[in-house]
A and B are shown apart, each in its own frame.
Chain A
Amino acid sequence: MGNGDNGTLIEKEEFKIIESLVTPVPPREITRQLWGIAKKYETAIKENLIISIEEAEQDRNIVNMLFRKYTDLKTRILDARILQNFVSMQRLRDVHVIMKYLDKSEIIKYIAYQVKRRGTPIVTFTGYSLRSTPRLERKLTSSKVEPKYDQNISIFKEEAERTLLMFNEEIDMSSVDKLDIDSLKKETLMKLKPYFDKPIKIKTLSHLLSHIQLNILSQMIRDNELFAYKRGKDSIIISKTPKYLSEDNKYETIVIEGAEK
């Protein structure tokens, strides 16, 4: 490696060579993969179909991985197009979630706002006055448009409340007192007993414990009642004593989804 500008140049070149040696991807293959992803999202957005977060994350990983190998401007433009698609898909996903909790009149108001803010109205000072002609005024007052939700507001409210209740049921909002917590702790410890001081796969843990038990486990680790150490990429060791603790330990948060119980 040289010094100064030359040095940097050489370093960059070396980096490129190593990259291509490890995982050689031909440029045509990069373009093909990127096109595949771009088209997939564009079709879904056009047809109002939602692509799950998990799938989107996988695609994002592929794009991130390929990003290092982009060489020409065309591929970079394609990359920007895909990122734009990711954003649009996220927006579509958000709208679908929000729409569940909005009644129709609110949606009408939102659409009205979107149209209103984009209009550059014609200005009229003279001539045929649309609203103030007596004949038309009579016609308008006799058939005034009343918002629909005035008649059916109770139905909309009931619907909204029902949806909210369903939502609450889904995320299990039941309260837990101290006795419950103690019994839950015992249950969790009983289940974990055969696995103490042994490497256990994170996946096994997620099958073994429910959401609440995992939550309790997380609290016990936080309160130093139990000690957990990450070993490798996908396994951890749970212990009752801090025997593996050293100054070099790094703390890391692991999110585990529990079994549905």
Chain B
Amino acid sequence: MSSTFESKPVKLDEELAELIAVLSSRWRALDGSVHFGVEEDRLKKALDVKSRASLERKLEEVQKKLLPMGLEIVRYSYEGKFYYCIRTIYGVPSELTDEEYAVLGVIIYHIETNKEHDYVTKKQLEITLVNGNYLNMYQFEQILRNLEMFGYIKRRRGNVYYGSRTLVEFDEERRRAIADEVKAWLV
């Protein structure tokens, strides 16, 4: 015998539901990089708004509904384009393993302390982590691959850059704090 729940009819705000769905999506671009949320121009077109101000007024309404859930809407730029996505307000664990988090920390440390470039070479990371006996070469390669797949880093010509996800999840102040911690522990 089966039973059904009879709930009161709820008026669904379709626009709000669709916006939350699209803001919480993730997808892969043609070059293989992972993106989160939705591109600004596409959102403007879908909502039929012309200016950023009117778009943000609409998003403020969504933001009000999301805040009690500990979520917020953020706007970020990556490689010349602007995106909107949803992130948590509080620090909670993401889908990375401890080793992956630690390697991300080391990458942040190297990039934050490098005043000339916005990247770290793979060789530098290898010297720190593999030659320093923290990981073996196989682990190191695998972790870099995973971090790239999750959108935390981007690799080009043997250099490792921040991915959009690192920039959104760790703001500048936090990245500096992480760099300080890693510096103290990684001798």
Contact = CB atoms under 8 A, between A and B. Distances in A.
Interface string A205-228: 000000000000000000000000
Contacts of B134: 104, 107-108, 148
Interface residues of B, number: 59
A131 interface: yes
B184 interface: yes
B85 A122 contact: yes
Contacts of B95: 121, 130-131
B142 A111 contact: no
Contacts of B82: none
User: In this complex, which of A92, A116, A120, A130 has the most chain B Cβ atoms within 10 angstroms of its Cβ?
Assistant: A120
Contact of A117 (B37, B91, B146, B182): B91
B182 A114 contact: yes
Interface stretch (A2-10, A29-37, A52-60, A139-147): A139-147
A119 B170 contact: yes
A112 B86 contact: no
Contacts of B143: 145
Contact of A128 (B28, B71, B101): B28
B19 interface: no
A126 B168 contact: no
Interface string A53-85: 000000000000000000000000000000000
Interface in A119-177: 119-128, 130-131, 136, 140, 143, 145-148, 151
Q: 7 nearest interchain CB pairs?
A: A127-B25, A112-B101, A112-B98, A121-B94, A115-B105, A125-B24, A114-B181
27 contacts: A108-B134, A111-B101, A111-B102, A111-B186, A114-B178, A114-B185, A116-B96, A118-B174, A118-B177, A119-B91, A120-B92, A121-B88, A121-B94, A122-B85, A122-B165, A125-B25, A126-B22, A126-B24, A127-B26, A128-B26, A128-B27, A130-B149, A136-B149, A145-B97, A148-B135, A148-B136, A148-B139
